[in-house]
Amino acid sequence: MKPSNRRAMSAAALLSIALTAMAPAAAQDYPNRPIRMVTPIAAGGMTDVVSRVVGARLAERLGQPVVIENRAGAGGGIGTEAVARAAPDGYTLLFAYPGPIVVNPSLLKSLSYDPERDLAAVSLLGTYPMVLAVHPSVPAKSVSELVDYARRHAGQLTYGSAGNASTSHLAMELLRREAGIEMTHVPYKGAAPAMTDLIAGRIQLVFDSVQLVMPQHQAGRLRALAVSSRERSPTVDLPGMADAGLSSVDVTGWFAIFVPAGTPRPVIDRLSRELGAIVRDPAMVADLLGRGIAAVGTAPEGLATRVSEERKTWQRAITQAGIRAD
């Protein structure tokens, strides 16, 4: 081997040893400056609101400011990529939801990041179902009755979603395929306009959040039939999909924290412990429950396993339904 090559290899080895030795020291001193929490969605929605609540609690526990940075666009991809490319030092966190983590990898051919390769799981904070709702003109008071009605009126029902390839679209496609019914998809630019048209009777059904659906259900403007999860949800008193014989339909949204891959494990463990304590605090449990979210708080391995399993599920669903992003 040439002396120059030996010197290069020696330098690389020394650098690796130095970085390894520095990791525990950095973790012991963590955090010693403000932390950035990237939310890959626009300000104002439920994801943004919950990220700010969690960020404020995390700042209290860590003794450092947690600055929320909204980086919307590309179905959550812009903010997610920013975290994936950030320094793996624990000072850049991703407040994530399913889209950019488990849906986009199967939906977009030119995704600029790989969630399982470029991100490290920290903690699953909470889960929430969507609610299946119909306009009162649809004579169905259960999912089974809706399926029967849809079969008798094949292709006549229209359902709205927050956009092509959104979770509300994918959940309804999964229901449609499993139930063997034909419906027409009407994509909107967000959940709010879809809800407006449902109330007006211009579409007949949607899957949407507890916060959007239940006030309208209670006011009699629409009828909530079930939650999108397999079993009944602790956040809302509605049956699950298994009650209608559709056990394979199990769509549950979630919020979680990730960091760039390569972040020292002691830092990840510290964040996971603090976040778990935050979401299991009784006041926080009540706050999240009021937003339709069931508090969880897992170790990193629990979140990583969930992501791997859901990514496979959505890959099958997207491939079978032939769904493509706009």
| Helix (H) / strand (E) containing 60 | helix 46-62
pLDDT category at 19 given cuts 50, 70, 90 is very low
More confident residue, 280 or 41: 280
How confident is the model at residue 297, as a pLDDT?
96
| Phi and psi torsions of 270, nearest 5° | -65, -45
Q: Is 324 exposed, middle or buried (0-12, 13-18, 19+ CB in 10 A)?
A: exposed
Q: Residue 314: is its pLDDT beyond 90?
A: no
How confident is the model at residue 137, as a pLDDT?
97
Range 129-244 has CATH code 3.30.70.1140: no
- On the question of a cis peptide bond just before residue 31, with omega within 30 degrees of 0, the verdict is yes
pLDDT category at 325 given cuts 50, 70, 90 is low
More confident residue, 323 or 268: 268
How confident is the model at residue 8, as a pLDDT?
47
Packing angle of the helix pair 210-218, 191-200 (nearest 10 deg): 20
| Helix (H) / strand (E) containing 95 | strand 92-96
Q: With contact defined as beta carbons under 8 Å apart, do 288 and 50 qualify?
A: yes
How confident is the model at residue 242, as a pLDDT?
93
pLDDT above 70 coverage of the chain, percent: 91
Q: How far apart are CA 88 and CA 71, in angstroms?
A: 19
295: β partners: 126
pLDDT category at 168 given cuts 50, 70, 90 is confident
How confident is the model at residue 300, as a pLDDT?
98
How confident is the model at residue 16, as a pLDDT?
47
Q: Residue 116: is its pLDDT beyond 60?
A: yes
Q: Which residues contact 19 (CB under 8 A, 6 or more apart)?
A: none
How confident is the model at residue 44, as a pLDDT?
77
Asked whether this chain's domains 24-128+252-321 and 129-244 adopt the same fold, the reply is: yes
| Phi and psi torsions of 88, nearest 5° | -85, 65
pLDDT category at 24 given cuts 50, 70, 90 is low
Q: Residue 157: is its pLDDT beyond 90?
A: yes
209: β partners: 130
Quote the pTM value.
0.80
How confident is the model at residue 27, as a pLDDT?
66
Q: Where are the domains of the chain?
A: 24-128+252-321, 129-244
How confident is the model at residue 25, as a pLDDT?
55
Q: Residue 119: is its pLDDT beyond 60?
A: yes
pLDDT category at 204 given cuts 50, 70, 90 is very high
Q: How far apart are CA 33 and CA 323, in angstroms?
A: 44
**What average pLDDT does this structure show over 216-243?**
93
More confident residue, 74 or 153: 153
How confident is the model at residue 190, as a pLDDT?
77
Structure confidence by residue, pLDDT tens digits, 251-261: 888 999 999 99
Q: How many CB atoms lie within 10 A of CB 151?
A: 12
Q: How far apart are CA 231 and CA 215, in angstroms?
A: 22
**What average pLDDT does this structure show over 99-108?**
88
DSSP symbol at 173: H
pLDDT above 90 coverage of the chain, percent: 62
Q: With contact defined as beta carbons under 8 Å apart, do 64 and 34 qualify?
A: yes
How confident is the model at residue 315, as a pLDDT?
86
Q: Which residues contact 153 (CB under 8 A, 6 or more apart)?
A: none
Q: Chain-wide mean pLDDT for the chain?
A: 89
Q: Residue 77: is its pLDDT beyond 70?
A: yes
Q: How far apart are CA 161 and CA 91, in angstroms?
A: 35
Q: Which residues contact 212 (CB under 8 A, 6 or more apart)?
A: 191, 192, 195
Determine the number of helices (DSSP H) and then strands (DSSP E) in the chain.
13, 10
The fold adopted by the segment(s) 24-128+252-321 is D-Maltodextrin-Binding Protein; domain 2 (3.40.190)
